[in-house]
Amino acid sequence: MGEVYRIGTRRSPLARKQVDEVVGSLRKRYPNIAFEAVGIDTYGDKDKLTPISDVEGSDFFTKEIDDALLRGDVDFAVHSAKDLPDEIQAGMYVAAITRSIDPSDALISKGNVKIGELKGGARVGASSQRRKSQLKRYRGDFQIVDIRGTIEERLKILEADGLDAIIVAACALVRLGLEDKITERLSAVIFAPHPLQGSLAVVAREDDYRMIELLEPLSKDEK
């Protein structure tokens, strides 16, 4: 049997799609190498109450995976690039940042009502401080509601919690095959997306030179 590399990842359906995306690119280059996804629960997956806006820039969604990488339990890790903490743990190296498959924010609304046509005082769900601030600047009458969870959970919140709309990353919907849920992609002029939205970060141990060499070409791959 040939080499098998273990990939640290969160357990959500979106995280698994992100791993599939990376593995698909790697297999084109290295057809004789096998890859195995290792699902890891992060603190951010267990804590469903803390607002994302309170933990931005931290390792809320990455620490447990990166700890496993540093212990040698996995060979490399795949994260949403915008989940990377402002300070990477010592001993780690970001080997690749993939090209974004879609950098935009997407509005999903009841009745497919576009953002400019939402009723006065509409309740709009968002997670990051960036999105909340942009919504307030765009329409001061909006009631901004903090939302958490996977994309599937956020869609359920839209239906069950009296919201009129939610804003999520378009790339997540594209990866999950849910692009038809999008009411509209929001203008980047008004709703500037996170600079790493839609990209993936592939992380290795900084002393694992073979792995870094194997992963670095992912930064150049076209989507």
Q: Hey, which residues are catalytic here?
A: 83
Cα(206)–Cα(26) distance, rounded to whole angstroms? 19
Cα(5)–Cα(18) distance, rounded to whole angstroms? 16
Half-sphere exposure of 2 (CA within 13 A, CB side): 8
- Asked if 150 and 13 touch (Cβ cutoff 8 Å), the reply is yes
**Could you give the C-alpha distances from 112 to 14, 17, 41, 97, 183, in angstroms and in order?**
23, 26, 34, 33, 5
